[in-house]
Structure 1
Amino acid sequence: MAVLADVLRPGLKVVFCGTRPGTRSAAAGAYYAGPGNRFWPMLASLGLVPPDFDPRGFETVWRHGIGLTDLCKTSAGPDASIRAGDFDVAGLAEAVGRAAPARLAFNGKRAAAAALGYPSERLAYGRQPERFAGAVVHVLPSTSGAARAAWSPEPWARLAREILASVG
């Protein structure tokens, strides 16, 4: 059983894929619920969700063209404790293929490397040359408080500009 239910449906502009829910997110039953996580404030600052969007209502984020999922669905905790066998790449491909979003954005290199099948050192932040289950792929710096050393808002801003430019 999944720690957090996917927020996926056809017609999404972007699906954000994390590695797995953190301990605080699992306890709260909500994506990116840790107090140091930049995810929701970043989306609001980029105009992808309204400034008053309440992350506790994450199930409604699809109304803004955004989906949510994780590569490891069955456990929670820090990324450092994930084993390679915990990743469900086939399940992610099936879910993304079914929802057919325009973009799949990995929140951190760890999930992207596992899904794309090569080392994270080989990944650059931003739009990738390959697609995943039909979706354009972006790799973004992790919004986790534990990943502050690698933080940069610029790849997030580039993705937001692309999304907003594609809207009507």
Structure 2
Amino acid sequence: MSDQEPADVPAGGLADVLAEGLSVVFIGINPAPLSVAAGHGFASPGNRFWPALHASGFTPAVLRPQQERDLLDLGLGITSIVRRPTSRADQLTPRELADGGRDLTRRLHAVSPRWAAFLGVTGYRAAFGAPQARVGAQAGTIGGTRIWILPNPSGRNAHFPPAALAAEFTRLRHATGLPDRSARSGRHQGPTGQERP
């Protein structure tokens, strides 16, 4: 699947990395201008998305943004709530976020992933009118897609240093039942067979 051509790129944004029946789609709030300039998601220096994916066992190595379509072979995808790039998420209007939530719902219905993992609780709250939402599993679904909220992997998110961020990503991986793919690159297990991050 990784050799597929990307979908049409929306004006001013990035192409989705999506296919039907994925296990998890990771959903950012909106792309950063540096990511759009690079043509790949989560390409801004300091963004911790790619290291967190590997540290939590979703990927066998730390992928580069240019390898984003390799995620499809692992049953993973990426997209965003809002297509318009901004330097900071707080530059988006409430209407843009609500409209983005409706647009995202249509995109998810088209591919039916098992899980939608939102990267940042603030964007999810605004896009889906859920002011009480917290990090972790959510009670509702989008169609048949279950919802999980992860911390925002931006380097600006001081509440979740790299180890804490990886731990939250690992909680999601456990919930999805996906294997620890990082074991191929030296991840160790403790004496009880439990993973050690």
- The TM-score with structure 2 as length reference comes to 0.77
Alignment equivalent of 1:97, drawn from 102, 105, 109: 109
- Give the counterpart letter for 2:47 in structure 1: N
The SS at the match of 1:146 is coil
Cα shift readout 1:105-154 (whole Å, capped 9, x = no counterpart): 000012211232122xx122111111123211001110001222345323
- Give the counterpart letter for 1:111 in structure 2: G
Q: Structure 1 regions of 5+ residues with no counterpart? A: none
Quick one: percent identity of the two aligned structures? 30
Q: Which structure has more helix as a fraction of its residues?
A: 1
- Give the counterpart letter for 1:113 in structure 2: R
Q: 1:72 aligned to 2:82?
A: yes
Cα shift readout 1:70-112 (whole Å, capped 9, x = no counterpart): 1111333211211112221221011001110000000001221
- 8 Å contact 1:26–1:76 — kept in the other structure? no
Alignment equivalent of 1:135, drawn from 113, 137, 145: 145
* Structure 1 residues 66 and 80, CA gap change in structure 2 (3 angstroms): same
- The TM-score with structure 1 as length reference comes to 0.89
Alignment equivalent of 2:14, drawn from 1, 4, 9: 4
Q: Structure 2 regions of 5+ residues with no counterpart? A: 1-10, 181-197
> Which is higher, the Rg of structure 1 or of structure 2?
2
- Number of residue-to-residue matches in the alignment: 165
- 8 Å contact 2:57–2:170 — kept in the other structure? no
Alignment equivalent of 2:170, drawn from 143, 146, 157: 157
1: distance between equivalents of 2:139 and 2:60? 30
